[in-house]
Amino acid sequence: MGSVEKIPEEELLENGEIDEKRVSSPIDESFFPKNLTISTSGRVKKVSASHLHQIHLINQQGRRRLSSIHESANENKVLVLYTGGTIGMRTKDGVYSPEPHFLPSAIRALPPLNDVEYVEKHYDKAEVKPYCLPPVKGFNERVIYWVVEYEPLLDSSDMTFDDWIRIAHDIKKSYQHYDGFVVLHGTDTLAYTACALSFMMEQLGKPVVVTGSQVYIILRSKWDFFGKPGYSYF
């Protein structure tokens, strides 16, 4: 019978669980520890990976009673992990770089990415308001999603092995509480991250989409969606 490895007491938490921060050390010396943040009601709150599921539990407590029409409609819950990249960049002194908390606020005002009326009607009292994709003709399901932002945001060329592990770890911690996951990522090394995650998360029963953009979420333009002067959104 094989021997059981004894874990040093200094690596255990009070409840007997392993303190992962003490056990694991960065593979890459350039790795910078990340925080997770959510933007709500003009404020920014830090959350831990193990408490990501509480985001939508808080929403359920603050949600209005639905009408009979909406009670029959399903909601698919999606967690969006925003790591950085071009999609959330803004220019400063002629240089584009990821700007903290800009992307979540920009999405909030974009009709193609957020049904404000639905959110205000059903999640008006929620502490952390989600986003809702517009309805799709022929489908009764609505996609409700929450955007969790990494701090600091990274250009994908600065991604390390430890960042890949962190993303997989955060998805694992919240896996049982969402129907799908989206990782927003810079395009330079997106393929490498997707490949690494595919080996770390085999045989999943839920979709994990790794995607990015080569244009910014909002660009100054002569025309918007409706052919009127203003902003173009992507």
* Contact present, 159 and 184 (Cβ < 8 Å): no
On whether 187 is known to bind a ligand per the annotation, the reply is yes
CA distance to 19, 24, 57, 138, 212, per residue, from 47 (Å): 18, 20, 14, 36, 23
| Residue of 40, 160, 187, 211 marked catalytic | 187
Burial class (CB in 10 A: 0-12, 13-18, 19+), 35: exposed
Q: Which of 37, 83, 86, 193 is catalytic?
A: 86
The answer to whether 188 is a known ligand-binding residue is: yes
Q: Does the active-site annotation cover 160?
A: no
Active site residue 37: no
Q: Which H or E run contains 91?
A: strand 89-92
Amino acid letter at 199?
Answer: F
Tell me if 11 sits within 8 A of 19, measured CB to CB.
yes
Provide the 8-state DSSP code for 5: P
Strand (E) or helix (H) holding 120: helix 116-122
Active site residues: 86, 187
Residues that constitute the known binding site: 156, 187-188
User: Which residues are known binding-site members for substrate?
Assistant: 156, 187-188
